[in-house]
Amino acid sequence: MTRAPVPRFELGCNYWPACSAMYMWRELDLGAVRAEFAHMRELGFSVVRFFLLTEDFLPEPTRVASDKVAQLVEVARIASEERIATIPTLITINMSGKMWWPSFMREPRSNLFADPSLLRSQVLLVETCARALAGDASIPAFDLSNELDDAQALRFSGTELASGNAATRRQVPAEPLGARASHRPADITRHVQRPIRCGPLKLGRCKIQRKHCGPRTLRAGG
């Protein structure tokens, strides 16, 4: 009798550098990052999820910071060399009790899920970073965002959310992002997670793996 293969259990964690935390991309120390990745590997971790702070990567609506993208590529390269798989989170505004808004997104009535200009900016950020990391076999998945619905929710009062804006929270950037990404081979070969709390999506060739209380995983392929 042939024994069924045992699924491999991957142990992972979220990552910010010990010395700089959310200021990682402004004070990047690649030597320290390498040492911490190596230490995590020694402890038995094989996957690291790290975060692209939108405030650093998207200084203007139509420009992604090229120096930060270069840093991103270097961090991914070091992780691969240290035998650590990485899951980059591509849009990070809500992090560790603070909202890290790019200056052009700080208009209190703007809507991340419905404003066409803000959606285009988010698409640009995701496309640029995904393209820079295309072909990296050590990246099993991308996160589109980190709890972006909570960032948007703080722009409105509880009454407004309960009445009109609950609907706009379902219009998450994953829809236009996924629709655009479905045309790019680099993204089709990766799993894409949408870690927010809202309804299901249909993204053409992408399938959705539902989880009861957590990220939505958009699986590539048909």
Task: Identify the pLDDT of residue 109.
Answer: 75
Q: What range defines the domain where residue 122 resides?
A: 12-219
Question: From CA 147, how far away is CA 218, in angstroms rounded?
Answer: 16
Domain assignment of residue 210, yes or no: yes
pLDDT computed for residue 193 by the predictor: 54
| Token output for 15 | 């990552």
Q: Which of 78, 29, 80, 71 has the alpha carbon at shortest distance from 51?
A: 71
pLDDT at 147: 83
pLDDT of residue 190: 52
Please say whether the beta carbons of 102 and 122 come within 8 A.
no
Angle between helix axes 174-181 and 116-132 (nearest 10 degrees) is 50
pLDDT (0 to 100) of residue 192:
60
Which stretches does DSSP call E strand in 16-73? Answer: 47-53
Residue 194 lies inside a defined structural domain of this protein: yes
Cβ burial of 181 (10 Å; 0-12, 13-18, 19+) is: buried
Residue 7 lies in a domain: no
Question: Both tokens of residue 184?
Answer: 């790019």
Q: Mean pLDDT per 10-residue run, the chain (222 residues)?
A: 75 95 97 97 95 97 97 97 96 90 85 89 95 93 86 59 39 45 43 50 36 39 35
Number of domains in the chain: 1
For residues 57 and 22, the answer to whether their CB atoms sit within 8 Å is no
Q: Tell me if 123 is assigned to some domain.
A: yes
Q: How far apart are CA 186 and CA 130, in angstroms?
A: 7
Quick one: 83 exposed, middle or buried, by C-beta within 10 A (0-12, 13-18, 19+)?
Answer: exposed
Q: Which of 177, 172, 176, 178 is nearest to 195 (CA)?
A: 172
1 located within any domain: no
Of 18, 95, 13, 107, which Cα lies nearest the Cα of 53? 95
The pLDDT, as a whole number, for residue 4 is 76
Write the CATH number for 147.
Answer: 3.20.20.80
pLDDT for the residue 89: 95
